[in-house]
Structure 1
Amino acid sequence: MPGPLPDGEPVPADGSLPESALRTAGARGFGVYVHVPFCASRCGYCDFNTYTVAELGGGASRDEYAGTVLRELELAAGILRAPVDTVFVGGGTPTLLDPGDLGRILEGIDRAWGLTADAEITTEANPESVTPASLQALRKAGFTRISLGMQSASPGVLAILDRRHTAGRAPRAAAEAREAGFDHVNLDLIYGTPGETADDFAASLDAAIRAGVDHVSAYSLIVEDGTRIAGRMRRGELPYPEDDVAADRYLAAEQALTAAGFAWYEVSNWATSPAARCRHNRLYWTGGDWWGLGPGAHSHVGGVRWWNVKHPSAYAKRLAEGVSPGLARELLTAEDRRVEEVMLRLRLDDGLPLELADPRGSRQALADGLLEPVPYAEGRAVLTLRGRLLADAVIRELV
């Protein structure tokens, strides 16, 4: 089940932001995240803020959801003005909504703030939740990029993860998305699932590459408390993931994807060209601003971070009453922002300016072979391949 939201100071009833935040809004780009909290079933590893029909209860409706999001947009438009460079619709399973509803939300974003001429507009999708017709409708509505949750090409691994699609469905959905005219198509992979073999993961990489996509994301399985897979491990039904296995899988991904013409640009993301990189995620990683729409969605503008009430019914109720759905917020200090910039920018292929990092820590990381020597000499901290394997530890050193 979804984890708890953090504490913070109350968000004003009208959702207003401090003048200090508004002065710099959009200086590093402005994006919109739309959270769609609906799923047909809950995957065994998932603790996201998502709900099946059985979990949802009363007071929230999938059919009425687009209208509820549009009410938040109306409120937001009166607070902030900035052109939108990127939109990312995530979940949950956004494509459980009708493509027309997703299109209405895009139109609402354009009315509220204005989409730039080259805006990147992404939706996530489960492979079984799209068809050639729905993909064509999404493309017609304005979506330029789609991210499909493939996770694995192994039926056994998919079963352990409680995924509903068949092993071959994700590559077929990727082909259908390309045929529908999407500019960019991503496939998500998860590695380190209990029972997954090296051959299983090699087959998943091969299937993703042969699908002809221009972007692949690969993430190590994280076992979150309260999930079904965590319960199975606690009962001894499944073994816990091993760090050495995860490292081997990452190295396999780097080797296979690089050989196929992909290049890493963030620790867990590879693309065939700079144009294929996810601009919305890069906005997060480089300290940009974004407004998060939907229950539990987080936002950041000019050093103010806030988050909405978590349950869809509470979210809908607040907006029906004309009140901001924001639950709490925090005002980031200069040191907070420096630490976050180190944590996020170090994961990128162009790294971060050394002046943001602790000098002693950066020198030690260089000596340990975790930072590239040439960029270091030019004043930037860029992870080596070994550094990518130990990214969290390097971040702690540099903070």
Structure 2
Amino acid sequence: MLYDFHYLIRTDVRKKSRESREMEEDLPQGAGVYVQVPFCPDRCDYCAVPVSVSTAMVSRYLAALALEAQKVAGLLADTSPVSLYIGGGSPLSLPREALLRLLKILAPFFPKGEVPEVTVESRPEDLDVETLEILRRIPGIRLSLGIEGGSREELDRLGRRSAYLEPLALLRRLRREIPEAAISMDFIVGEETGSEDRLLATARELLSEGLDHLSVYPLVVESRTVLALRKSQGQTSESLEEEAAARWVEICRALSAQGWNRYEVSNFSRDPESVCRHNRHVWQGGDYLGIGAGAHQRRGRKRRENVRSVSEYVRMIEGGLDSYGLTESLSENAYDIEYLYGNLRLSEGISAGWLKEKVGDDSYEFLHSEFVRMDVLDQNRTNSQRLVLNDRGFSLLDSLVLMILEKKESSDSLASP
């Protein structure tokens, strides 16, 4: 049976008492919800995400997910989340009935039928006719496609065990078959391969064809991955990550020159309305709730992380236990660091008033002067209310944050009795 998502939204709604809490005026209201679906047919060489390549646990996992979802939905009272992000793994690689079951589990998050944005991650080859028919019924649907490489050769070099589908042809097909969907594509920039021009040419064509969103990440060698093993055995360049980072910086600058709206360090949108609302909400310091193995959540300064193991997560939920592997209360300083880092990585920048309050007026003026000297500010957007980085500033983000934190530490020391 093919479920209509609007119908699912209207059924099984539970009334909740509203939980009151104070929020800072400059924080985004509401909460985003992230759902982890840790199943994928293959594990790529660079992947460090805890996923299962077997579907044996899918049914029990979804049953556990349903129990946790009921509890998490209660934290929202009778309001809808600002966004729903279904990630993985590869959610759309689930068996068809399991996918329908997942959507039914998540329907109560929208008691009023309001669905601002529902992002679903997918491998390109999982988008068959039946799956697209299911997705077509989800209002606010946004597809995030892991393209990763611009050719079969690049996918092989990355250790990406996935079929290669030409991005432009894929976009044109999706525009025909699911015209209401917002489409995003992810790419990984690896070592020098001579394919830089191909990626930029592809990005230019995708922009002209109306792709909504583009994410471009430098290759990172994560521990306990096949890629890390390959590097340790001398099968890749010792400077793999450095080469990838250098290429990534140049590619990101070129994408901005093409007309892509770089609204975050690694994310580009067709226009200001095409950004990923869920991720921007999190970067701006908004609350987010997490469901599933390895999922994170933060409400105010309270942060929790579920256990990463699929079997352990299922065992704990089935036993009536909380599935948290980590629970912590962030100090004011730790919270400020997250807020600082998250907002500086966005094209809206950070509140000048907030920064002055944290470091003091004199230190703020010093930092502003230094940033002007270093040519890391977007002069068209930086003003008395906001401090905004340019492309060069994004590439030096870690160093700039460190400069601010040193001034903040000095200010805190002076304020201490």
TM over 0.5: yes
Change (3 A) 1:132 1:307: same
Paired AA for residue 188 in structure 1: D
Mapping of residues 328-343 of structure 1, within 5 Å: 328-343=326-341
Once structures 1 and 2 are overlaid, which stretch shifts more, 175-184 or 99-108?
99-108
Name stretches of at least 5 consecutive residues in structure 2 with no aligned partner: 1-18, 406-417
Q: Is 1:264–1:270's contact at 8 Å kept on the other side of the alignment?
A: yes
CA contact (8 A) 1:366 1:372 kept: no
Which whole-Å CA distance do the structure 2 matches of 1:346 and 1:300 have between them? 19
Contact 2:191 2:241 in 1 (8 A): no
Provide the residue aligned with 1:10 in structure 2.
none
Tell me the alpha carbon deviations over residues 106-133 of structure 1, each in whole angstroms, 9 at most, x when there is no partner.
4433425636624200100011222132
* Structure 1 residues 258 and 137, CA gap change in structure 2 (3 angstroms): farther
Equivalent of residue 393 in structure 2, options 380, 387, 396: 387
Measure the CA separation in 2 of the matches of 1:48 and 1:223: 13
CA drift of 1:226 comes to 1.7
2:160: which partner in 1? 163
What number of residue pairs does the alignment pair up? 373
Deviation at 1:237, TM superposition (A): 1.3
- Whether contact under 8 Å (1:132, 1:177) holds in the other structure is no
Q: Does 1:131 align with 2:128?
A: yes
Counterpart among 299, 302, 305 of residue 301 in structure 1: 299
Q: In structure 2, how many angstroms separate the alpha carbons of the residues matched to 1:113 and 1:22?
A: 20
**Whole-angstrom distance in 2 between the partners of 1:245 and 1:97:** 32
Question: In structure 2, what is the Cα distance between the partners aligned to 1:216 and 1:205?
Answer: 8
Aligned ranges 1:10-21 → 2 under 5 Å: none
1:277-327 CA distance string (max 9 Å, x none): 100001110111111110010001122110111111111112212222122
Instruction: Find the aligned partners of 1:330 and 1:217 in 2 and give their Cα distance.
Output: 31
Q: Does 1:46 align with 2:47?
A: yes
Q: Could you tell which deviates more after superposition, 343-352 or 384-393?
A: 384-393
Task: Answer whether contact 2:296 2:305 (CA < 8 A) is retained.
Answer: yes
Structure 1 pair 99–264 and aligned structure 2 pair: CA distance change class (3 A): farther
Secondary structure of 2:114 counterpart: strand
One-letter amino acid of the structure 2 residue matched with residue 65 of structure 1: Y
Deviation at 1:356, TM superposition (A): 3.6
The letter of the residue matching 2:375 is: G
The residue that corresponds to 2:37 in the other structure is 36
1:78–1:145 CA distance, 2 compared to 1 (3 A): closer
In structure 1, what is the equivalent of residue 63 of structure 2? 67
Residue correspondence of structure 1 range 1-399 to structure 2 within 5 A? 23-24=21-22, 28-53=29-54, 61-81=57-77, 82-98=79-95, 100-112=97-109, 114=111, 117-142=114-139, 144-178=141-175, 179-193=177-191, 195=193, 197-206=195-204, 208-209=206-207, 212-239=210-237, 240-241=239-240, 243=242, 246-256=245-255, 258-259=257-258, 261-357=259-355, 358=359, 359=364, 360-373=366-379, 375-399=381-405
One-letter amino acid of the structure 2 residue matched with residue 232 of structure 1? R
Which has the higher mean CA deviation after the structures are superposed, 85-94 or 158-167? 158-167
The structural deviation recorded for 1:248 is 4.0
CA contact (8 A) 1:22 1:302 kept: no
| Larger RCO (CA under 8 A, 6+ residues apart) | 1
Greater CA drift, 61-70 or 379-388? 61-70
Are the counterparts in 2 of residues 109 and 115 from structure 1 also a CA contact under 8 Å?
no
* CA positional deviation for 1:177: 3.0
Contact 1:127 1:148 in 2 (8 A): yes
Task: Map Cα deviations across residues 164-201 of structure 1 (whole Å, 9 max, x no partner).
Answer: 33443444443333222343100001113364543343
Bigger CA drift: 171-180 or 282-291?
171-180
Structure 2 distance, partners of 1:284, 1:345, is: 9
Cα distance per residue 1:219-276 (max 9 Å; x no partner): 11111122111221222111132546533443334324542x4211111111112221
User: What is the deviation of 1:29?
Assistant: 2.3
CA distance in 2, matches of 1:384, 1:79: 38
Task: State whether residues 28 and 281 of structure 2, in contact with CA within 8 Å, keep that contact through their aligned partners in structure 1.
Answer: no
Task: State the TM-score, normalizing by the size of structure 1.
Answer: 0.84
AA in 1 matched with 2:49: F
Distance 1:85 1:242 in 2: 35
- Percent identity over paired residues: 29
Cα distance in structure 2, aligned partners of 1:331 and 1:245: 36
SS of corresponding position for 2:82: strand
- For residues 83 and 200 of structure 2, the distance between their equivalents in structure 1, rounded to whole angstroms, comes to 33
For 2:310 and 2:199, the matched residues in 1 are separated by: 36
CA distance in 1, matches of 2:374, 2:42: 45
Deviation at 1:366, TM superposition (A): 2.6
Secondary structure of the corresponding residue to residue 31 of structure 1: strand
- Could you state the TM-score of these two structures normalised by the residue count of structure 2? 0.81
- Structure 1: give runs of 5+ residues left out of the alignment: 1-20
User: Is the CA contact 2:116–2:140 (under 8 Å) kept in the aligned structure 1?
Assistant: no
Over 3 Å counting, the alpha-carbon distance change for 1:100 and 1:277 in structure 2 is farther
**In the TM superposition, what whole-angstrom CA distance separates every residue of 1:60-89 from its partner, at most 9, and x where no partner exists?**
612343322111112223455242110000
1:121 is matched by which residue type in structure 2? V
Q: 1:327-377, CA deviations, whole angstroms, 9 ceiling, x for partnerless residues?
A: 221112222221111101001111001244342444322321112345444
Asked if the contact 2:293/2:310 (under 8 Å) is kept, the reply is: yes
Label 1:131 to 1:258 Cα distance change in 2 as closer, same or farther (>3 A): farther
What CA distance in whole angstroms lies between the structure 2 residues aligned with 1:244 and 1:156? Answer: 18
RMSD over equivalenced CA pairs, Å: 2.6
